Amino acid sequence: MMKDSAVPPGSSKHLSPEVSGDEVAANRSCANQDMSKFYITTPIYYVNARPHIGHAYTTIACDAIARRQRQLGVDTFFLTGTDEHGQKIERAAQAAGIPPQQLTDEVSAAFQGLWKRMGITNDDYIRTTEPRHKSGVQELFRQLRDKGYIYKDSYEGQYCVFDEMYVDVVGASAPCPECGRPTETLKEENYFFKLSAFQDKLLAYYAEHPEFIRPETRRNEVISFVKSGLRDLSISRSTLQWGIPVPGDPSHVIYVWFDALANYITALGYGSSSASGDTSRYDKYWPADVHMVGKEIVRFHCVYWPATLMAAGLPLPKSIVAHGWLLFEESKMSKSRGNIVRAETILDVLGSDALRYFLLREIVFGQDGSFSFDALVQRYNADLANGLGNLASRTLTMITRYCGGVIPSPSAPTDAEKAIAEQALVLIAEYDRLFDDYQFSRALEAAWSLVGSVDKYIVTNAPWTLGEKTDEASRVRLGTVLYTSAEALRLVTALSHVVIPDSTTRIWSQLGLGDIRKLRVNKLTWAQLQPGTALGKIEPVFPRADKTAIERMHQMEEERRSPAPAEAAAVAPAAPVMAPPAAPVAGDAKITIDDFAKIELRVGLVKVAERVKGADKLLRLEVDIGTEVRQILAGIAEAYDPEPLVGRKVVIVANLAPRKLRGLESNGMIVAASLEGGKPVLAGFLEDVSVGARLK
């Protein structure tokens, strides 16, 4: 059902799909949520295209929400599936010379395979070509006909095959107002659904249930569309065979949208009228708590679907939540633009958690968001490799080294520990509220701000220094610092599990806490980590991605798009660029190896970078050199913006005597090439190096 937006026959009003989204309406949590169960659905994906990261985005969001509900102990049912009927499929199969069922089997298998690989936890997968769905749709059709909401009439109009609907234009092959493709004149006897009878009922329902359509922009669009007048909707076709036959009139098949929307109830067993039919799932989980949809299919879900349910006398879903579009480097992904990105590429190079984290952290849910490989790798390195990954490996390695691999006991907290504990408690409450309000990005931001605070806390309290001392006070202090770090790590791991399930499963077991799937977060609080817990086997969780990762992903996408990879390979690689050698130092003043050894060069990681007020050339940096974080002032502001430097590895002279510049103390020096008349260029590494490593 993920298709371009469409209009019902006779309608002259179009909603612009370009209207930008607001942040999903804040301050409106699921007030009427029945806490004993939770049912969430993705749209069922149309099998005219193979899965790409746009599909993955919707599915990941639903998966995170479903996992969160289960973590809260709520009986959760999560449904996804594929929409497999309609003219487009029939024609695509004809063009490929295969039966439509074969086409849908192949594409549906591709979706199911991807979800499995991404660890999506759907409880069921519905295909609209399954018998259980067909019988449910026919039952729904019968119900509406018996209640007088379906009648037969003849209709002539312009039909858009691409959008699978009649459009309001005049003239043979007039262009479709939705997609611009030429339309076809069709005259058929059709079954019509009395949508016009529901205009006032729908408006009254929207008014009484402000939480029904989210975010606010979509709700307003829907209301103005309904106010403009609803006409009856043609819900059958006699011009194609690839669909579900109208009960009692097999010369017609049921309109693909009517067919598709019903999946939300047929998957639960609605319409299993036979003696063997089981409707216990329907009785338990319907109505749905959340139908997650792309903004282009809002009208189908917020107008036609509730009207259908009202006509059948069935309860309405509690909310329909629309997200924005995922753009690739600022433009909409589409087959014709050739800029569709496949999830598999990212899974191959960075893993599923990298994609999941990026999409939920980077995009404000409800708004359009942009995807690029550069942004993905940057986010991955900053937040996962250097953020959570570094916190885990630092903390667990030191507990192994200094505490025999057992969680130490904390002693009386100082202000520093109290501050961390307080931030953690605020985070637990905030995360709950933000996540339930679909503000995934802000929820993750809050969790990662705790990661940042603990990082600073570790640097300030230097457990590696305490660990080298043998006096009792240092031992006691060491235990407190490492306990605090490990407890914060545990909380961030617990909260972010629903977003990054693979890596948090591993960190959890490295913390010695067993199976994270058993974790219930209802009672999550500070200081639940038991001293004496033996750590599991310590392994790195997020290996840092180097620059070749971006190139590799671009290349993989190129190869997948290119019809003849051999041609692409024939393009000669560019010649390596050789820089002219720099002029050697004048004279023959040579130094001995001992002279060189006096200079302590170390690898540092830039944690903070900012401009210095009143000094055009200076940047103030905070550089982590493994054992500590140094403030260093560097005269590189004309060549480098501060923001992109954060997360970058640099070479520093670590044993330079401190000096003051503009009233700020500089502890060390950043190594850069200084080009005659040009800007400085920072020294760096092609391979990954660990922070604090010495150059010699």
What does the binding site for Zn ion look like in residue numbers (CB under 5 A)?
160, 162-163, 176, 178-179
- Residue 165 beta carbon to Zn ion: minimum distance, rounded to whole angstroms: 8
Shortest Cβ distance from residue 162 to Zn ion (Å)?
4
3-state secondary structure 90-145: HHHHHHHCCCHHHHHHHHHHHHHHHHHHCCCCCCEEEECCCHHHHHHHHHHHHHHH
How far is it, in rounded angstroms, from Cα 77 to Cα 390?
Answer: 35
- Contact predicate 236/45, CB 8 Å: no
Is residue 83 a contact partner of residue 45, using CB atoms and an 8 Å limit?
yes
Q: How far is the CB of 153 from Zn ion (least distance, A)?
A: 23
Residue placing its CB nearer to Zn ion in the complex, 23 or 168: 168
Using DSSP, state whether 194 is helix, strand or coil. coil
CA-atom Rg of the chain in angstroms? 30
Instruction: Considering the complex, state which of residue 3 and residue 361 has its C-beta at the smaller distance from Zn ion.
Output: 3
| In the complex, least distance from residue 336 CB atom to Zn ion, rounded to whole angstroms | 14
Residue 617: both structure tokens together: 């050339």
Residues 6+ apart with CB under 8 A from 344: 114, 117
3-state class (DSSP) for residue 664: strand
Half-sphere exposure of 482 (CA within 13 A, CB side): 33
Distance CA 53, CA 58 (A): 9
Instruction: Please give the Cα distance from 333 to 341 (Å, whole number).
Output: 8
Closest contact distance (angstroms) between CB of 4 and Zn ion is: 7
Instruction: Give 11 or 439: the residue with its C-beta nearer to Zn ion.
Output: 11
Cβ proximity to Zn ion: between 159 and 258 the closer is 159
The residue among 25 and 161 lying less far from Zn ion, judged by its C-beta, is 161
Q: C-beta of 159: minimal distance to Zn ion in Å?
A: 9
In whole angstroms, the minimum distance from the beta carbon of 296 to Zn ion comes to 13
Measured CA angle at 352 (ends 441, 510), to 5 deg: 90
Instruction: Tell me whether residue 161 or residue 202 sits nearer to Zn ion (CB atom).
Output: 161
Kind plus residue range of the DSSP H or E element containing 262: none
Query: Which is closer to Zn ion, CB of 12 or CB of 528?
Result: 12
Give start and end residues of each alpha helix (H) in 390-462.
390-403, 415-436, 440-461
User: What is the token pair recorded at 477?
Assistant: 């202090």
Residue the block writes with tokens 């006032």 = 200
Are the C-beta atoms of 280 and 324 separated by less than 8 Å? no
Give least dist CB 332 to Zn ion, A.
Answer: 16
Q: Give me the least distance between CB of 17 and Zn ion, in Å please.
A: 13
* H/E stretch holding 507: helix 501-510
Residue 339 burial (C-beta neighbours within 10 Å; 0-12, 13-18, 19+): middle
Q: CB neighbours (10 Å) of residue 489?
A: 24
**Ordered DSSP codes for 565-611:** HHHHHHSPPPPPPPPPPPPPPSS-----HHHHHTS-EEEEEEEEEEE
Residue closer to Zn ion by CB (options 163, 624) is 163
* CB-nearer residue toward Zn ion: 169 or 406: 169
The count of C-alpha atoms lying within 13 angstroms of the C-alpha of 537, restricted to the half-sphere facing its C-beta, is 1
Q: What SS3 class is residue 491? A: helix
Instruction: Report which of 293, 305, 316 is spatially closest to residue 365, judged by C-alpha positions.
Output: 293
Residue nearer to Zn ion on the CB measure, 178 or 430: 178
Phi, psi of 660 (to 5 degrees): -105, 135
Residue whose CB is less far from Zn ion, 159 or 270: 159
Neighbours of 173 (CB within 10 A): 12
Shortest approach of Zn ion to residue 337 CB, angstroms? 17
Q: How far is the CB of 14 from Zn ion (least distance, A)?
A: 11
Q: How far is the CB of 166 from Zn ion (least distance, A)?
A: 10
Using CB atoms, what's the residue nearest to Zn ion?
176
User: Which is closer to Zn ion, CB of 4 or CB of 502?
Assistant: 4
Nearest-5° Cα angle at 583, 579 to 586: 165
Q: Residue 294 or 387: which CB sits closer to Zn ion? A: 294
CB of 270 to Zn ion, least distance (A): 31
Backbone dihedral region of 59: left (phi > 0), alpha (psi from -120 to 50 degrees) or beta? alpha
User: Which residue number, 163 or 432, has a Cβ lying nearer to Zn ion?
Assistant: 163
Q: Provide, rounded to whole angstroms, the least separation between the CB of residue 48 and Zn ion.
A: 13
In terms of DSSP bridges, do strands 369-371 and 245-246 run parallel, antiparallel, or are they unpaired? unpaired
Write the single-letter amino acid at 538. Answer: I
- Closest CB to Zn ion among residues 56, 260: 260
Provide, rounded to whole angstroms, the least separation between the CB of residue 160 and Zn ion: 3
CA torsion sign, 118 to 261 to 253 to 272?
positive
